[in-house]
């Protein structure tokens, strides 16, 4: 059975027995589908995330709930860097810190500027401020710019911390497109461009000689990119640094996953 994440932000680990920064695989947002591949007696499960098209990881089963039928209801995307869900319009805080890019399935008609939404594992809908969500596609470059200064976190996928491919994945998620999670897979899924053909919203890919692609940036204009910089340890907008320019493998135009 396919499950869904029931908390605002879940971290997936390569090894649940050694939960260190180096063992973070990725993160998943509230409502993201998770296919259970293996369960352990200690309450941990290894899952795949269909929306990320990458390697799976381990998380506590308690962070999952069965994936319900959305019934064809409209889906809104959190457009604030973070929002809180309440038990009724303007009511008591029920779930704080739901991050940018989270997809919320409507559970009825709005009321007084609040939208009821379905939450995995919850019997009753919670309410989100309509001003914090949107139903149209956000511009990915504009979304990435909103994350300038966010700290670099390996495997991160939220305004609380993000890595280079996570920035790309999240920006296009807010644009209504599903891109793979990892830089190498983003490159494989992109339309290759000849030098000089890149434009705003394309991607630059980087790899050491003979190695696979390990870094990605979002083109702002030729030679300038937005990226979660491992050196600066934050999201920055800058001309392609000299140390990255020498390992630039090319540019690509994102295409939605099938």
Decide: 211 and 184 in contact? Cβ < 8 Å. Answer: no
CA distance 139 to 77: 13
CA distance 177 to 182: 15
Helix, strand, or coil (residue 221): strand
Mean pLDDT, rounded, for 167-181: 96
Each residue of 186-214: pLDDT tens digit?
999 999 999 999 999 999 999 999 999 99
Domains and CATH numbers, the chain: 2-66 (2.30.30.40), 75-134 (2.30.30), 140-253 (3.90.1720.10)
- Residue 258: the pLDDT is 47
Nearest in space to 165 (alpha carbons), one of 47, 247, 52, 258: 52
Decide: 137 and 110 in contact? Cβ < 8 Å. Answer: no
Mean pLDDT, rounded, for 34-38: 95
> Which structure tokens are listed for 79?
């457009």
| Stated pTM of the model | 0.95
Mean per-residue pLDDT of the chain: 95
């Amino acid at each position: 059975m396919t499950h869904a994440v029931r908390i605002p932000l879940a971290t997936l680990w390569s090894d649940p027995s050694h939960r260190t920064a180096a063992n973070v695989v990725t993160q998943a947002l509230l409502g993201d589908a998770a296919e259970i591949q293996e369960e352990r007696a200690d309450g941990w499960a290894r899952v795949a995330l269909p929306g990320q098209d990458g390697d799976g990881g381990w998380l506590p089963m308690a962070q999952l709930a069965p994936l319900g039928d959305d019934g064809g209801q409209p889906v809104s995307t959190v457009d604030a860097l973070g929002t809180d869900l309440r038990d009724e319009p303007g009511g008591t805080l029920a779930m704080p810190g739901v991050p940018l890019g989270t997809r919320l399935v409507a559970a009825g008609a709005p009321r007084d500027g609040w939208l009821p939404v379905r939450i995995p594992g919850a019997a009753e809908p919670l309410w989100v401020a309509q001003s914090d969500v949107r139903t149209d596609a956000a511009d990915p470059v504009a979304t990435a710019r909103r994350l300038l200064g966010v700290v670099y976190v390996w495997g991160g996928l939220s305004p609380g911390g993000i890595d280079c491919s996570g920035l790309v994945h999240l920006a296009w998620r807010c644009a209504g497109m599903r891109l793979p999670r990892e830089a190498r897979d983003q490159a494989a899924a992109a339309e290759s461009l000849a030098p000089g053909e890149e434009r705003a919203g394309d991607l630059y890919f980087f790899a050491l000689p003979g190695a696979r692609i390990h870094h990605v940036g979002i083109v702002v204009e030729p030679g300038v990119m937005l990226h979660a910089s491992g050196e600066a340890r934050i999201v920055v907008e800058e001309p392609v640094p000299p140390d990255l320019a020498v390992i630039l493998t090319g540019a690509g135009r994102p295409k939605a996953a099938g």
